[in-house]
C-alpha cells in the first residue's frame, strides 16, 4: 500500500480507481458544527466538557447501541460497546486481546483487507487463509483450515469475515450461508470477527451479529464511510464473557478497553461528539441518512459494470478479461491477461495515467496475480470513462499472447 501511495503522489494527474473513499462533496463544515451543537444540547453539557481526556470506552456507546438496534436489528447493552479510533484500532485491539501467546492463530477469508493482515503481522499472530468461493466463504475449507491449524499445535481463535460487499472482492454472503457460518463457528469453537464498513451501500441482509444468539460474533463498525472518515471514529461490540483466574467475569469490551488505555487512551471526545450529534439528528438511522450517497455509489457501480462490458467485450481481448459484479459496496475485482505487480502499477500511472490496486496487496505473502481491484465510490462519471479507456489501452498493450 505504501508503494501505491508513493505512485499516486508521483503521478498526481493519474485517474485513480485505487482509494476506497466516500464522496468528498457530501462533506460540509456547517454539518460538523451543527452535529456538535446537537450533541451538546442533547447531553446538556458545555463544549468545554469535551476539551479534557475522556473515558476509555468512549462517550457515545448509548447512541451507537441505538443505531445498531435501528439499523441492524442488533440488540446490545451499551456496556458491550467500545468506541475506537476507526475500525482499524478496533481490529488491532481485538487481535491483540486474542493473542495470549505464540500458540494462537487467526483465520481470514482470502483475499482480505490489508488492515487486518497488517495488524496481525505487527503482533506476530499467524493468519491462515480460508477460501471465499462463490458464497463469500467456503465452509468446507473453513473446517479443513481449523483442522490443519490444530494439527500444527496452534489454537484457531477467530475467523475474520466481511459478509457485506467485502473489501476487496465485493462479495456478499447470502442469509443461509450466514446461518451456516454461525453453526460452523459453534461447531469449531471459533469466534467470528465481523467487519462491516460497507453494509449500508447495497441490499440489506441481517448482519451475523443480528443472528448471533451465542455471543460468537465480535462486531466491528465504523463511521468512516457513513459520516466522516476524518473523524476517525469506529467501535467494536464485544459482549463475550471473559472468566478470570480469580473467578471474576468481565465483558470482552472491558478487556479491550484495558488495552486501548495504553494504545490511544481514549477516542477524541470532540470527534465522538460530532458523530454522536449526527446519530441523534438522524434519529440513529444512518441507513436512511445515507440513502443519497448509497444511490450515487450504486449509479457508479452500474456505470462501471457497463463501462467494463463495453470495453472488454471487444474481440481484441478474446473474452480474457472478466470481473466480479457485486450488488453494492465500493469495490470490484478484474481478472486481466497479464501479471499485475508494482512494475505494472508504475507503468500504468506514468504512461497511461490510471491507478488501481494490485490484488497481491490483499493476499498473504504479496504474490503477484493477474487481478486488480477497482474502486468506484468516489469517481466522477467523465473521469470513470477516461480511466476505463486508459485501463483498456494498458491491458491491450500488456496482455500476454
Ligand X SMILES: Cc1ncc(COP(=O)(O)O)c(C=O)c1O
* Residue ranges that bind ligand X, judged by CB under 6 A: 20, 86-88, 113, 115, 162, 167, 195, 197, 222, 224, 229, 234
Of residues 164 and 255, the one with the C-beta less far from ligand X: 164
Strand, coil or helix: what is 15? Answer: strand
Smallest CA-to-CA distance from 20 within 302, 297, 310 is with 297
Of residues 113 and 312, the one with the C-beta less far from ligand X: 113
Q: How far is the CB of 364 from ligand X (least distance, A)?
A: 16
Of residues 168 and 353, the one with the C-beta less far from ligand X: 168
Q: How far is the CB of 87 from ligand X (least distance, A)?
A: 4
Q: How far is the CB of 86 from ligand X (least distance, A)?
A: 3
The kind and range of the H/E element at 191 are strand 191-195
Smallest CA-to-CA distance from 330 within 7, 18, 1 is with 18
Of residues 116 and 352, the one with the C-beta less far from ligand X: 116
DSSP string, 25-84: GG--HHHHHHHHHHHHHHHT--GGGGSS---TT-S-HHHHHHHHHHHH-----GGGEEEE
Q: How far is the CB of 233 from ligand X (least distance, A)?
A: 8
Q: How far is the CB of 91 from ligand X (least distance, A)?
A: 6
Q: Are 330 and 198 in contact (CB under 8 A)?
A: yes
Q: Report CA-CA distances (Å) from 304 to 161, 328, 381.
A: 26, 12, 9
Q: At what angle do helices 61-72 and 269-281 cross, to 10 degrees?
A: 40
Q: Are 194 and 112 in contact (CB under 8 A)?
A: no
Q: How far is the CB of 358 from ligand X (least distance, A)?
A: 16
Of residues 61 and 392, the one with the C-beta less far from ligand X: 61
- Cα separation of 40 and 271, whole Å? 12
Of residues 193 and 257, the one with the C-beta less far from ligand X: 193
Amino acid at each position: 500500500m505504501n508503494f501505491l501511495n508513493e505512485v499516486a503522489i508521483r503521478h498526481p494527474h493519474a485517474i485513480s480507481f485505487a482509494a476506497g473513499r466516500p464522496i468528498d462533496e457530501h462533506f460540509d463544515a456547517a454539518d460538523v458544527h451543527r452535529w456538535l451543537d446537537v450533541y451538546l444540547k442533547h447531553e446538556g453539557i458545555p463544549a468545554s466538557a469535551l476539551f479534557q481526556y475522556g473515558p476509555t470506552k468512549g462517550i457515545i456507546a448509548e447512541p451507537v447501541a441505538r443505531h445498531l438496534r435501528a439499523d441492524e436489528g442488533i440488540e446490545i447493552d451499551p456496556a458491550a460497546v467500545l468506541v475506537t479510533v476507526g475500525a482499524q484500532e478496533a481490529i488491532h485491539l481485538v487481535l491483540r486481546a486474542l493473542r495470549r501467546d505464540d500458540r494462537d492463530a487467526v483465520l481470514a477469508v482470502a483475499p482480505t483487507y490489508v488492515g487486518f493482515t497488517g495488524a496481525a503481522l505487527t503482533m506476530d499472530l499467524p493468519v491462515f487463509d480460508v477460501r471465499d468461493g462463490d458464497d463469500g466463504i467456503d465452509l468446507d475449507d473453513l473446517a479443513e483450515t481449523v483442522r490443519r491449524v490444530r494439527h500444527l499445535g496452534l489454537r484457531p481463535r477467530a475467523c475474520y469475515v466481511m459478509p457485506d460487499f467485502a473489501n476487496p472482492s465485493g462479495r456478499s454472503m447470502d442469509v443461509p450461508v450466514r446461518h451456516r457460518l454461525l453453526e460452523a463457528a459453534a461447531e469449531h469453537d471459533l469466534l467470528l470477527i465481523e467487519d462491516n464498513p460497507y453494509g449500508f451501500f447495497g441490499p440489506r441482509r441481517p448482519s451475523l451479529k443480528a443472528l448471533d444468539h451465542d455471543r460468537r460474533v465480535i462486531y466491528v463498525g465504523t463511521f468512516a464511510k457513513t459520516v466522516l472518515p476524518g473523524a476517525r471514529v469506529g467501535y467494536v461490540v464485544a459482549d463475550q464473557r471473559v472468566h478470570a483466574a480469580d473467578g471474576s467475569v468481565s465483558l470482552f469490551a472491558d478487556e479491550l478497553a484495558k488495552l486501548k488505555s495504553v494504545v490511544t487512551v481514549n477516542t477524541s471526545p470532540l470527534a465522538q461528539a460530532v458523530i454522536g450529534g449526527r446519530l441523534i439528528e438522524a434519529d440513529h438511522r444512518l441507513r436512511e441518512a445515507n440513502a443519497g450517497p448509497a444511490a450515487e455509489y450504486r449509479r457508479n457501480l452500474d456505470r462501471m459494470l457497463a463501462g467494463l462490458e463495453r470495453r472488454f467485450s471487444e474481440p481484441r481481448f478474446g473474452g480474457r478479461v472478466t470481473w466480479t459484479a457485486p450488488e453494492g459496496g465500493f469495490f470490484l475485482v478484474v481478472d486481466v491477461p497479464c501479471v499485475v505487480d508494482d512494475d505494472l502499477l508504475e507503468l500504468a500511472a506514468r504512461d497511461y495515467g490510471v491507478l488501481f490496486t494490485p490484488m497481491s496487496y490483499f493476499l498473504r505473502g504479496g504474490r503477484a496475480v493477474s487481478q486488480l481491484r477497482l474502486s468506484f465510490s468516489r469517481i466522477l462519471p467523465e473521469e470513470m470513462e477516461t480511466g476505463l479507456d486508459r485501463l483498456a489501452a494498458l491491458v491491450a498493450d500488456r496482455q500476454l499472447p
